[in-house]
Amino acid sequence: MKKQLSVAMCFAAVFAFGQVKEPDALKARIEALQAGGAKYLLAKQMPNGAWMRNPAITALAIVGLMDAPGVDKGALEKGIAYIASCSQPQGTILDPQDRRTYPVYSTSICLLALVKAARPQDAAIIRNARDYLLSVDPTPEDSDAGAPAKAGFGYGKRHRADLNNTAWVLEALAATDNLDREPFNKDPQKAQKAELAWGKALAFISSCQNLSETNKSAWLKSAPEDDKGGFIYCPEDALRDNADARMLRSYGSMTYSGLKSLIYAKVKPEDVRVKAALDWIAKYYTLDENPGVGQAGYYYYLHTFAKTLTIMKLNSLRDAKGTGHDWRSELVLALEKRQNKDGSWHNDKSGRWWESMQELSTSYVLMTLGCLEN
């Protein structure tokens, strides 16, 4: 019997073309960018191991630094220890003194950093954080009778669900999926609870996609045809913002987040949702902006772009005009042009979503570069 192909291998077989081994010259350019970014971030680390007094930003920095060559192990250990110290009894990982803390957002990102660090002493924290995320079930009270229950994730248990937070949570759940399987778990109800959460989240993800074949949400009535296949941030916001019948559009970082979430949910490559998302990506392929919202969220867009294409094992893409793109080389070039002299990156065109803060944008970039070598 032939061994069953992994989800990533299936995607590669269906959508990839012209896959080639990464040249040594490109690897050297990636490492040069990583070295500059790492030097900047390490200079900004606080004595307690944190960045910006924020466990989530610290986690983003740590994930990026762990993939950069030659980073001081002591600095990494201090950062990881700080994240672990922010673990709370209910499973959240956050700074309880910070009024801006969002428990679901912070916990999911910190969980990814702790999983990547793989310290034995953090096993209980990781288990508790996963249990907390699975306890969040913001199923809308006005869900359509007979329709599949859908529950995305917001910044906290009482925040309305959005695709950004849902994508972070699903990535964290995917990274810890083994904890609900043998030999780590002998309670089948836990595994069933996880499967139920995935099913509800998948229904929510579908409600964020401009695709009438699988989404019957009211907001699609004003969605333009040339936007088909893309993803929006939040259906609830879409209905509110569309009160004056403005046309709604998807944008790049959410479309890649949506596609990435479909992959983590083990949706097959031939599924209409995946095909439509790939068509959107081909139509709006660019590394000059976050398509749909311009320069806003540019560095987060690059991260979702690189991570999604990496886990799909796509080394090349064709845009809607049939032009082939070696996206890794194009991405590295875009980052080389935007790197500051001190090794950092920041969004000088838009401060939306905190990207004017160099620590945050530089962390996104190091995470992006780390994707290229995985």
Tell me the domain boundaries of the chain.
28-315+356-372
Q: Output the CA angle 110-113-114, nearest 5 degrees.
A: 90
Q: Report whether 163 contacts 208 (CB < 8 A).
A: yes
Q: Report whether 25 contacts 343 (CB < 8 A).
A: no
Residues in the chain: 374
Q: Kindly write down the DSSP assignment for every residue of 62-110, as one continuous string.
A: HHHHHTSTT--HHHHHHHHHHHHHTB-TTS-BS-TT-TT--HHHHHHHH
Distances (CA, A) of 311 to 122, 165, 171: 26, 19, 12
Q: How far is CA 334 from the centre of its chain?
A: 20
Mean pLDDT of each 10-residue bin along the chain, 374 residues long: 42 45 83 98 98 96 97 97 97 86 94 98 97 80 51 82 95 93 71 85 94 89 86 77 58 97 95 97 96 93 97 91 95 98 93 89 98 80
Answer whether 0.75 is exceeded by the pTM.
yes
Return the pLDDT at 22. Answer: 54
Q: Report whether 61 contacts 51 (CB < 8 A).
A: yes
Question: Tokens representing 268?
Answer: 């097959």
Q: Report whether 94 contacts 101 (CB < 8 A).
A: yes
Return the pLDDT at 126. Answer: 98
Distance, in Å, from the CA atom of 130 to the CA atom of 179, rounded to the nearest integer, reads 9
Provide the 8-state DSSP code for 121: G
Q: Report whether 56 contacts 106 (CB < 8 A).
A: yes
Provide the 8-state DSSP code for 102: -
| 28-315+356-372 placed in CATH 1.50.10.20 | yes
Distance, in Å, from the CA atom of 209 to the CA atom of 221, rounded to the nearest integer, reads 13
Q: In the Cβ-directed half-sphere of 227, how many Cα atoms lie within 13 Å?
A: 21
Distance, in Å, from the CA atom of 18 to the CA atom of 12, rounded to the nearest integer, reads 11
Amino acid identity, residue 228?
A: K
Q: Report whether 367 contacts 64 (CB < 8 A).
A: yes
Distance, in Å, from the CA atom of 34 to the CA atom of 49, rounded to the nearest integer, reads 20
Beta strand spans in 56-161 (E): none
Return the pLDDT at 374. Answer: 63
Distance, in Å, from the CA atom of 169 to the CA atom of 103, rounded to the nearest integer, reads 11
Question: Tokens representing 215?
Answer: 């989404």
Distance, in Å, from the CA atom of 364 to the CA atom of 276, rounded to the nearest integer, reads 27
Instruction: Tell me whether strands 317-318 and 324-325 are parallel, antiparallel or unpaired.
Output: antiparallel
Return the pLDDT at 16. Answer: 46
CB under 8 Å to 306, separation ≥6 — which residues?
331, 368, 371, 372
Return the pLDDT at 173. Answer: 96
Return the pLDDT at 334. Answer: 98
Return the pLDDT at 17. Answer: 43
CB under 8 Å to 244, separation ≥6 — which residues?
none
Return the pLDDT at 4. Answer: 36
Distance, in Å, from the CA atom of 52 to the CA atom of 39, rounded to the nearest integer, reads 16
Distances (CA, A) of 15 to 164, 315, 368: 25, 10, 21
